[in-house]
Chain A
Amino acid sequence: GKKLICVLFFSQLSRVVGAAKNETPQSRTFIRGIQTVTLIPGDGIGPEISNAVMKIFEAAKAPIRWEERNVTAIRGPGGKWMIPPDAKESMDKNKIGLKGPLKTPIAAGHPSMNLLLRKTFDLYANVRPCVSIEGYQTPYTDVNLVTIRENTEGEYSGIEHVIVDGVVQSIKLITEQASKRIAEYAFEYARNNQRASVTAVHKANIMRMSDGLFLRKCREAAEKYKDVKFTEMYLDTVCLNMVQDPTQFDVLVMPNLYGDILSDLCAGLIGGLGVTPSGNIGANGVAIFESVHGTAPDIAGKDLANPTALLLSAVMMLRHMGLHGHAKKIETACFDTIRDRKVLTKDLGGNSKCSEFTEAICQRMKDMD
């Protein structure tokens, strides 16, 4: 009774805050009750970091119910590889998902799981906010940018041919439709998250037609969002400037390959994949948030993993859902714990266990209440 009222109150508060702050195009404001989210723990350290996140969410009293699913590929009727139907059903129903690292299959003959998920839900935008973490020192301070990468086409079309023996052709595909979609998403994101500018990253001096098309679509989208500043910059210039002064960048939008490289470069600036959140936005309101590090099989099951990346992705998920209050609470607890430097996992420079780190964050949140 009382608990439900408390939850309702917090949800109402979040909704008000959410409406005042931002409404992402696919965000959902939850007026009452608990929201169900599909959880894909993944492989290797996946299950333990997922547990850590669930524990922290519980301590934060976040109105989230987790529905665990496995996405190991199965052969469907007709021989096509697909994700298990119960996983697909869950995602289609819940729309929001949180995913741990997935094993890359070497044999098995089926395509990468990430690729399968991407195709199944048309996850066209990969969003990575990169913010410097106080307490986790890197040579770069004050990084605060977002990379938005087109995730369906470009250089990763997978279309390659051997023309003659010793000559290979890989096809990079740029379409008007996909470019328009990602460009508009980038501006929408900027507007909804109070970001001042969007920079299109390209190599239209060399790839005149393909990147030229991408650039044109970005320019067209810029016309519709006059409140957001628009600039264009060559990929090499971005790389050059990024490592000298990352503070000059805000939101970056780009095709697939450049996005892959730049998003990892930016992750490197703030401390690596172990602390970088990531979200994938799909058509039909689907959004899957994930940690982008590997499965770390060497430390799996030993309570040594760092759950920060998955936790920050879950925080990103809460913001997407409009639950800003809970997002802020969890994020603050996490950053404060790292800044304190008393309880840190090995990769962050400490020697605590995953469970100890998780407990420290939970304790902080209890103290906040």
Chain B
Amino acid sequence: VICKLCPLSPPPAKYGGRHTVTLIPGDGIGPELLNHVREVFRFTCVPVDFEVVNVNSALETDDDMNNAITAIRRNGVALKGNIETKHTLPASVKSRNNVLRTSLDLYANVMHCQSLPGVQTRHKNIDIMIIRENTEGEYSSLEHESVSGVVESLKIITRNNSLRIADYAFKLARERGRRRVTAVHKANIMKLGDGLFLQCCREVASGYPEITFDSMIVDNTTMQLVSKPQQFDVMVMPNLYGNVVSNVCAGLVGGPGLVPGANYGHVYAVFETATRNTGKSIAEKNIANPTAMLLASCLMLDHLKLNDYASVIRNAVLTTMNETRLHTADLGGQGTTLEVVQSVMRVIQILRRIRMHVADLPS
């Protein structure tokens, strides 16, 4: 591929204009989808080099994870597939994905759920931003069996982390011109824990008078989401409710194959599909939907300030989505992963040609 077709003026970057990003293939459909991302990046001449770090989910030792975490610390940014949590391993082996998030303090999980024009769904006009606390809550992994047959699992809510995530949510809402932030909780039952979370949200809300703040109990939230999802704008919540709400919303806009997810910390950022599925049953069959992973890679490019590349790839992906005959099985079609990726690259080619012609026109 001749790189004179690439966009002009490379953005500021480390080490000679190229970024190094950690790539964790993970299990299931992760490896094949990430390979496609690399293909598309190569085709588009994206100035990103991937440092691949494999994590073997079948091993009990932490060496693989430690390597991965070190690599991400070094590079600052990662793109990953989901790492399977094998139930055959003892309970002391925690979910690797969770370990990654907590070690790197990726405290905000951000997911933007939007109805896509080319995808048929029961509900239309959905545009919800979900901000989920990503490090504590029910995912604290603090469990013990004090008496035989009685297990206690601790859910930790702290003022610091609740303030932090609420702050993130409101800042993001303000940045994107969003009008309303809804805190999702179960403070009627978990009075102290979720009560603290809610209180922190209220405190932060008082500093953003232009944004409406309200709250909703999680069970009512899911009920509202399946009947009238258009009422929601930005939602902020602790870890587990975030898991539920983000999966419900992903399902509402068309499924796990479409929505990208991002995990942000103060220092590091890791990008993946929003619903974090391993997709074991469809792995290596050329039927997985590459959209979510490709869009996640675009989010990563935005984070690296390579916005032009991000736009080109994103436009190509969304244009391809409009083509019903290319829809993969999860969208009810018969398209293959490869067909989708090839279409994306074709559209990128066309977009670049248009850009070149526009650049060549006399001013």
What is A's interface to B at a CB cutoff of 8 Å?
138-140, 155-156, 158, 160-162, 165-177, 203-210, 212-213, 235-237, 239-244, 257, 260-265, 267-269, 272-273
Contact = CB atoms under 8 A, between A and B. Distances in A.
Nearest to B188: A104
Given A209-B143, A210-B153, A268-B223, 5 more contacts: A160-B193, A209-B91, A209-B151, A239-B248, A267-B223
A265 B151 contact: no
Contact of B225 (A171, A267, A268): A268
A205 B222 contact: no
Contacts of B336: none
A56 to B, nearest CB: 27
Given A139-B122, A235-B244, A239-B248, A210 B143 contact: yes
A250 B141 CA distance: 31
Contact of B193 (A139, A168, A210, A263): A168
A167 B200 CA distance: 12
Interface in B259-296: 275-277
Interface stretch (B3-11, B61-69, B174-182, B250-258): B250-258
16 contacts: A138-B227, A169-B155, A170-B157, A174-B153, A208-B91, A209-B145, A209-B153, A210-B143, A210-B151, A213-B149, A236-B243, A236-B244, A236-B276, A239-B251, A261-B219, A265-B222
B196 interface: yes
A220 to B, nearest CB: 13
B355 interface: no
Contacts of A239: 222, 244, 247-248, 251
A273 B219 CA distance: 11
B339 interface: no
B87 interface: yes
Contacts of A171: 152-155
Contacts of B220: 264
Contacts of B193: 160, 168-170
B226 A155 contact: no
Given A212-B91, A236-B275, A237-B247, A169 B156 contact: yes
A86 to B, nearest CB: 29
Nearest to B144: A209
Interface residues of B, number: 58
Contacts, number: 167
A160 B153 contact: no
Contact of A206 (B98, B225, B246): B98
Interface of B is mostly: mixed
Given A172-B138, A175-B150, A176-B150, A243 B252 contact: yes
Contacts of B153: 171-174, 207, 209-210
Contact of B157 (A168, A203, A208, A244): A168
A166 B244 contact: no
B95 A172 contact: no
B226 A140 contact: yes
A171 B153 CA distance: 6
B35 interface: no
B42 interface: no
A272 B225 CA distance: 12
Interface string B213-229: 00000111011111100
Nearest to B254: A244
Contacts of A174: 150-151, 153
B278 to A, nearest CB: 10
Contacts of A175: 149-151
A241 B330 CA distance: 11
Interface string B81-95: 000010100010111
B191 interface: yes
B159 interface: yes
Contacts of A206: 85, 95, 98, 138-139, 141
Closest 7 CB pairs of A and B: A166-B159, A268-B223, A176-B149, A243-B251, A264-B219, A208-B91, A139-B122
B311 interface: no
Contacts of A261: 218-219, 222, 244
B354 interface: no
Interface string B119-136: 000110000000000000
Nearest to B227: A268
Interface in B206-246: 218-220, 222-227, 240, 243-244, 246
A288 to B, nearest CB: 20
Contact of B158 (A168, A203, A264, A273): A168
Contacts of B275: 236, 240
A242 B138 contact: no
B247 A236 contact: yes
B350 interface: no
A56 B156 CA distance: 49
Contacts of B219: 260-261, 263-265
Contacts of A161: 192
Contact of A172 (B85, B152, B186, B255): B152
B277 A237 contact: yes
B359 interface: no
A168 B192 contact: yes
B151 A213 contact: yes
A272 B158 CA distance: 34
B123 A207 contact: no
Contacts of A237: 247, 277
A170 B190 contact: yes
Contacts of A176: 148-150
A169 B149 CA distance: 21
Residue among B159, B223, B275, B277 with the highest chain A CB neighbour number at 10 A: B223
Nearest to A104: B188
Contacts of A244: 251, 255
A297 B157 CA distance: 34
A264 B51 CA distance: 44
B149 A167 contact: no
A261 B245 CA distance: 10
Nearest to B200: A166
A131 to B, nearest CB: 16
